[in-house]
């Protein structure tokens, strides 16, 4: 039995190339690793069409070389138009091959995703258990799909049916290390805003889930509010494997909130220090409850940048988002992080529910006040499965002519949100104004130029400038 897993092309079909770097499809690597541990007789391969720059036709040609019995595609919302087109080609070329689609978008809208894509199966939520059981039943010619947890399928009458309830893996340490041997690790590098070391780069999953419930975040559609973490020893084993096998010493933790528990952060940092790991890493955190002890430990353990999801510079908008973030506390934490010698990165959005021109100006001014080394500005995107999507759709704020690619938070396409008091064009204008106003400050430019010490920092600067110029006013 042969299985091909695909990371589909997106930037070639309307995405904004460069803003996200080239990130390893770590979710597919996990699926392949778990699948071959449970089914060692199955042959797995991964096609990273996005990083390889493949067209849909070229992707199908790559699939044809493997002649698989099952094709799996990962899909988020803004890439789903591309997935629909690729699925149609695969269906025509391989009419008897089973097609499985998973990811955040199908997890949020499984029935419509199944219909739009023409797939045989939709996997919702955490995919490893679903994937392994589907393989087992395909091998046994057992077509009672209703037994499979976390799956949607068509019955004999063509009706969409859900399988058994989705399951979460309680102990993440049982998962094998991601199958990085199935991808070309030399091709991956982070966005210029997240590069803290030269050489090959990869994603690192320390935990899954987030206890918070921000209204815009789609993490809850795949994980839950229950945060599960791998042990420090298990994470160290993966880092050592990456260093020894692939020469990878640059990592980006994918956790929605790496710093959710101070004790756990200190344990991981101490393990990195004890093992004398020559590595550098980036993580995400909330701008509250971080102290000098934690930040110093993170710096010593190789952390060189922390990305804070600030989202807005207006307390009422933060309340509307359900962010539970105090702006004074955010300012304190950012100052502490800088003092610890860790680069600061902050993310902001424009156009959430309740936004006005005044609140967007507040966000621009607060971003300048925090004065982080990197400020990432996005257009608020009501991703399916989020409270933002549910409320915006019910109120009629979603553009009727929008397709899934319009849900991209950073692109040269019009956004999907338009309010009676605030048009999509106005939101876009403020977004562009924020980027120009932040990065074209003379003091900021001089500080960045003065801080250049390493070749990759120069490369970051030029990559960021290229992206800046690619974003149309």
pLDDT of residue 460: 62
Cα three-residue angle 346-349-355, rounded to 5 degrees: 135
Distance CA 251, CA 292 (A): 23
Distance CA 431, CA 194 (A): 20
**Distances from the Cα of 445 to the Cα of 18, 203, 438, 461, angstroms:** 21, 30, 10, 10
As a CATH number, domain 189-470 is 3.80.30.20
> What residue spans define the domains of the chain?
2-162, 189-470
Structure tokens at 290: 């971080």
Token pair 């359900």 is found at: 322
Per-residue pLDDT of the chain (473 residues; tens, 9 = 90+): 999 999 999 876 565 554 556 889 999 999 999 999 999 999 999 999 999 999 999 999 999 999 999 999 999 998 999 999 999 999 999 999 999 999 999 999 999 999 999 999 999 999 999 999 999 999 999 999 999 999 999 988 889 999 998 889 999 999 999 999 999 999 998 887 888 888 899 999 999 988 888 888 887 787 776 789 999 999 999 999 999 999 999 999 999 889 989 999 999 999 999 999 999 999 999 888 899 999 999 999 999 999 999 999 999 999 999 987 899 999 999 999 999 999 999 999 999 999 999 999 999 999 999 999 999 999 999 999 999 999 999 999 998 888 998 888 777 677 899 899 999 899 999 999 999 999 988 888 888 777 766 666 666 665 666 555 566 55
pLDDT of residue 101: 97
What angle, 0 to 180 degrees and rounded to 10, lies between the N-to-C axes of helices 424-439 and 357-370? 20
Q: What is the dihedral of CA 380, 424, 19, 294, to 10 degrees?
A: -20
Instruction: Answer whether 287's CB lies under 8 Å from 329's CB.
Output: yes
pLDDT of residue 473: 54
What angle, 0 to 180 degrees and rounded to 10, lies between the N-to-C axes of helices 262-274 and 232-246? 40
For the chain, report the end-to-end CA distance as a whole number of angstroms.
50
Structure tokens at 231: 């042990």
Q: Which CATH class is domain 2-162?
A: alpha beta
Distance CA 190, CA 204 (A): 12
Structure tokens at 190: 């982070």
Q: Report the 3 state secondary structure along the chain.
A: CEEEEEECCCHHHCCCCCCCCECCCHHHHHHHHHHHHHCCCCEEEEEEHHHHCCCHHHHHHHHHHHCCCEEEEECCCCCHHHHHHHHHHHHHHCCCCEEEEECHHHHHCHHHHHHHHCCCEEECCCCHHHHHHHHHHHHCCCCCHHHCECEEEECCCCCEEECECCCCCCCHHHCCCCCHHHCCHHHCECCHHHCCCCCCEEEECCEECCCCCCCCCCHHHHCCCCCEECCHHHHHHHHHHHHHHHCCCEEEECCCCCCCCHHHHHHHHHHHHHCCCCCEEEEEECCCCCCHHHHHHHHHCCEEEEEEEEECCCHHHHHHHCCCCCHHHHHHHHHHHHHCCCEEEEEEEECCCCCCHHHHHHHHHHHHHHCCCEEEEEECCCCCCCHHHHHHHHHCCECCCCCHHHHCCCCCCCCCECCCCCCHHHHHHHHHHHHHHHHCCHHHHHHHHHHCCCHHHHHHHHHHHHHHHHCCC
Structure tokens at 98: 């089973």
In sequence order, what are the beta bridge partners of 74? 102
| φ and ψ at residue 203, rounded to 5 degrees | -90, 150
Sequence length of the chain is 473
């Amino acid at each position: 039995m042969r299985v091909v897993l695909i990371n589909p092309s997106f930037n070639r079909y309307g995405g904004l190339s460069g803003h996200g770097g080239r990130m390893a499809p770590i979710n597919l690597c996990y699926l392949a690793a778990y699948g071959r541990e449970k089914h060692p007789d199955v042959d797995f391969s991964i096609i990273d069409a996005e990083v390889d720059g493949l067209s849909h036709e070229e992707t199908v040609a790559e699939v044809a070389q493997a002649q698989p019995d099952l094709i799996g595609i990962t899909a988020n919302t803004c890439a789903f138009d591309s997935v629909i087109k690729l699925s149609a080609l695969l269906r025509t070329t391989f009419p008897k091959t089973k097609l499985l689609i998973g990811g955040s978008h199908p997890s949020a809208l499984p029935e419509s995703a199944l219909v739009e894509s023409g797939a045989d199966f939709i996997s919702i939520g955490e995919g490893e258990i679903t994937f392994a059981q589907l393989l087992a039943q395909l091998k046994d010619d057992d077509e009672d799909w209703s037994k499979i947890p976390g799956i949607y399928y068509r019955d004999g009458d063509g009706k969409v049916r859900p399988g058994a309830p989705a399951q979460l893996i309680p102990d993440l340490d049982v998962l094998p290390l991601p199958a990085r041997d199935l991808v070309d690790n030399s091709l991956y590098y982070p966005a210029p805003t997240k590069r803290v070391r030269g050489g090959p780069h990869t994603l690192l999953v320390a935990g899954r889930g987030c206890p918070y419930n921000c209204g815009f975040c789609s993490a809850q559609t795949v994980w839950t509010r229950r945060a599960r973490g791998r042990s420090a020893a298990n994470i160290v084993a993966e880092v050592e494997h990456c260093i020894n096998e692939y020469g990878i010493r640059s990592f980006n933790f994918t956790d929605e909130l790496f710093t959710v528990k101070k004790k756990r952060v200190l344990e991981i940092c101490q393990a990195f220090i004890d093992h004398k790991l020559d590595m550098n890493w980036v993580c995400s955190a909330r701008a509250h409850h971080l102290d000098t002890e934690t930040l110093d430990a993170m710096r010593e353990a190789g952390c060189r940048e922390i990305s804070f999801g600030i989202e807005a510079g207006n307390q009422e908008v933060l309340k509307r988002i359900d962010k539970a973030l105090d702006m004074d506390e955010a300012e304190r934490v950012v100052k502490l992080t800088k003092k610890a010698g860790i680069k600061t990165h902050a993310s902001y959005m424009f156009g959430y529910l309740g936004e006005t021109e005044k609140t967007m100006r507040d966000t621009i001014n607060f971003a300048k006040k925090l004065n982080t080394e990197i400020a990432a500005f996005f257009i608020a995107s009501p991703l399916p499965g989020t409270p933002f999507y549910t409320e915006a759709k019910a109120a009629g704020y979603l553009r009727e002519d929008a397709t899934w690619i319009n849900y991209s938070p950073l692109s040269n396409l019009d956004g999907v949100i338009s309010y009676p008091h605030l048009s999509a064009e106005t939101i876009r204008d403020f977004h562009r104004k924020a980027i120009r106003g932040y990065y074209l400050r003379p003091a900021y430019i001089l500080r960045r130029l003065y801080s250049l010490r390493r070749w990759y920092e120069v490369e970051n600067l030029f990559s960021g400038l290229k992206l800046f110029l690619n974003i149309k006013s």
